[in-house]
Amino acid sequence: MIALKTLNRRTDALVVGGGIAGLQAALDLADQGFKALIVERQPSIGGHMIALSKVFPTLDCASCITTPKMSAAVHHPKIELLVNTEVQSLESTGAGQRATVTRQPTYVDNDKCIGCRLCEYACEVEYPDPFEQGLGALRAIAIPFANAIPQVAVLNPAYCTTCGLCARACPTGAIDYTQEAVTFTIDAGAVILATGFSLNSLNLKPQFHAAQSRNIISPLTMERLLAPHAPYGRVLRPSDGKIPQSIAFIHCAGSRDQTLGVPYCSRVCCMYFIKQAMLLSGALPLADLTLYYIDIRAFGKGYEQFYQNARAMGINFVRGKVLRIEPLADGDLLVHVEATEAAEHCYRKVRHDLVVLAQGMVPPSGGPALVPVRRATDGFFDLPEATDPSGTNLPGVFAAGTAAGPKDIVDTITDAGAAAMAAGRYLQRRRRENSAPVGEAGTRRRVHLEPTMDAVGAN
Amino acid sequence: MATKPLTTEQKQALALFRKRLGGVSKEKHERLKHQVTLRKAIRDFLARQPATIPEIASALARPADEVLWQVMGMKKYGRVREAGDSGWYARYGLIERETEAAAGEV
Ligand SMILES: Cc1cc2nc3c(=O)[nH]c(=O)nc-3n(C[C@H](O)[C@H](O)[C@H](O)COP(=O)(O)OP(=O)(O)OC[C@H]3O[C@@H](n4cnc5c(N)ncnc54)[C@H](O)[C@@H]3O)c2cc1C
Ligand code: SF4
């Protein structure tokens, strides 16, 4: 890894994470006149939301409402975007915050790439597509997904056989095999942490045998099966391509369980399961759809009505506890459930083609410690002041969206707006302090509030 | 597809890249070889008639999930299309192509 001082930057606000929270926060700051720099570790912005099918409770197409925000952020004159770049650490400098970031090589010069995909078509190697949760195939050099922003190719060295076909096919000479990881720093007046969430493992409950069946899937996999550009083009089960006729949804499979270390509710699973069942009733009109739940948490505006509509559509809701899932030889799954809706609890075994587990929402894995920002007991960023819902324990560092705990898109966007407002107020206060006459004790501090985002050279 | 030979500079960059990766592992080569061989077998089988995933898997004695993944890769890159349903399964057939110049030749 090389450290390139020429890449060091200064900005008013650093936004860590280019999911919907980070995009909204950056747009709100930029519209207030502040320069915002978004750092996203994936090759595209959009976060989890760009991979969803439709969103509850409106059933709007997720990519149709995310793409305009992605595009607005990338074209905003006050927003700069760095993808494939991860924040490694954060330190207070007195004048603001300094982030150390590492940009991974993509082996493609983004300034030359025109997104024509000729390199992708020339490449011969395919691997399980991470955007499609492994269901589809992606070539070793490819545009990450159809509506990725930026629309540039990325080469995956873990699969590349160094045949050189991509460089031979590229009409603009964009392939650059000499790229290496580079580390540099970003000085910012304020930081918004919008690092989002990840889902805990499907295999946490051994009695569910998820490791033994391709047909026990994650809710994100179901989102991709239902998406307009679905990897299979329709809903099929992954073990053998069968059109499923009976699908089970198991609520709270990774949340509300002390033994899993996730005692809290992940807040969105009840609603996304109801949404997925509704979408499936359109895609597979004959399919039997059953939701096994402890209680339904339909807390938001219009959510209770959404739930009642699902019941009226004939979707089965079974209150009870799933004890075990038994994979059968033909790929089907036998769900053992203790149903509790009747006065007398009854034990049932129900056969399904496909089972979706509501994994718990947890802080993103493999991420940096982002010290010294304090975490709450659930592992998400701690927001200690009830009257300052975005402020962390560090002055000038704010958290937005699911980085501070599970929430839906509406709350994430509201949260991001609040964090942008708090960061804007903080930057203005510092600006006033900075321009005020030096006090008796000579306490005026130098802060970089009108910096340039151009490379600032060795410093 | 129009391709041009690598320049000397590109050849040198590629050699450096290969060295930095620690060479190309046997596993990577085996993976690619397996993909090419299996896809050829799938193409040969589908050249006779469209088939479902379990039919292809049983004819080639390969696991159905692996066959599904390979067929979906072939579908994405324009070699295979859906050709109706058979019971609870979709059937897949080859796309007739006048030239091999279109996308994705794997
Ligand atoms: C299966 C499923 C379905 C859902 N359906 C709905 C729905 O229908 N309606 C609804 O309202 N909500 C839904 N949600 C919830 C919704 O996905 C979230 O509310 C929303 O995506 C949160 O956005 P975010 O920006 O906070 O986080 P994310 O989308 O996770 O974005 C965080 C971003 O930060 C990046 N990042 C993390 N660490 C770093 C780092 N160190 N450096 C740089 N970048 C970093 C990540 O790569 C990511 O792009 C669903 C959730 C799931 C799991
Ligand atoms: S790298 Fe070259 S071939 Fe690949 S998409 Fe970009 S311009 Fe096209």
Per-residue pLDDT of B6-65, as tens digits, reads 999 999 999 999 999 999 999 999 999 999 999 999 999 999 999 999 999 999 999 999
Residues 24..43 of B with a Cβ closer than 8 Å to A: which?
Answer: 24, 28-29, 31-32, 35-36
Q: What share of chain A has pLDDT > 70, as a percent? A: 92
Over residues A180-195, the pLDDT tens digits come to: 999 999 999 999 999 9
All structural domains of chain A, each given as residue ranges with its CATH number in brackets, are 9-105+180-197+363-458 (3.50.50.60), 201-360 (3.50.50.60)
* A440 Cβ neighbours under 8 A, 6+ residues apart: none
Return the amino acid letter for A456: V
Residue A442 confidence class, pLDDT cut points 50, 70, 90: very low
B10 interface with A at CB cutoff 8 Å: yes
Please check the confidence at residue B101 and state whether its pLDDT lies above 50: no
Find, in chain A, the residue whose alpha carbon is nearest to that of B3: A169
Residue A386 confidence class, pLDDT cut points 50, 70, 90: confident
Over residues A93-116, the pLDDT tens digits come to: 988 999 999 999 999 999 999 999
Residue A435: per-residue pLDDT: 83
Q: What is the ipTM of this complex?
A: 0.92
Q: Cβ atoms within 10 A of the Cβ of A377, count?
A: 8
Mean pLDDT of A212-222: 98
Alpha carbons A151 and A401: distance in angstroms, whole number:
25
Residue A440: per-residue pLDDT: 43
Which stretches of A39-141 are DSSP H helices?
62-75, 118-122
Per CB-CB distance under 8 Å, the chain B contacts of A224 are none
Smallest CA-to-CA distance from A226 within A271, A287, A284, A270 is with: A284
Residue B96 confidence class, pLDDT cut points 50, 70, 90: confident
Residue B2: per-residue pLDDT: 75
Over residues B67-94, the pLDDT tens digits come to: 999 999 999 999 999 999 999 999 999 9
A233 closest CB neighbour out of B6, B82, B85:
B82
All structural domains of chain B, each given as residue ranges with its CATH number in brackets, are 49-95 (1.10.10.10)
Please check the confidence at residue A458 and state whether its pLDDT lies above 70: no
Please check the confidence at residue A343 and state whether its pLDDT lies above 80: no
Residue A438: per-residue pLDDT: 53
Over residues A265-321, the pLDDT tens digits come to: 999 999 999 999 999 999 999 999 999 999 999 999 999 999 999 999 999 999 999
Q: How far is CA A162 from CA A168, A174, A177, B10, B19, in A?
A: 12, 16, 9, 12, 10
Over residues A56-106, the pLDDT tens digits come to: 999 999 999 999 999 999 999 999 999 999 999 899 998 899 999 999 999
Mean pLDDT of A196-225: 97
Output the ligand 1 site: residues, CB below 6 A.
A 16-22, 39-42, 47-49, 52, 55-56, 86-87, 194-197, 199, 219-220, 223, 268, 272, 275, 364, 367-368, 401-403, 407-410, 412
- Ligand 2 centroid to residue A131 C-alpha, Å: 20
Least confident of A7-16, A226-235, A438-447, B7-16: A438-447
Can you list the positions of beta strands (E) in A104-159? 126-128, 137-139, 141-142, 154-155
Q: What is the dihedral of CA A156, A160, A164, A167, to 10 degrees?
A: -10
Alpha carbons A17 and A196: distance in angstroms, whole number:
7
Least confident of A198-202, A308-312, A368-372, A414-418: A368-372
Return the amino acid letter for A318: V
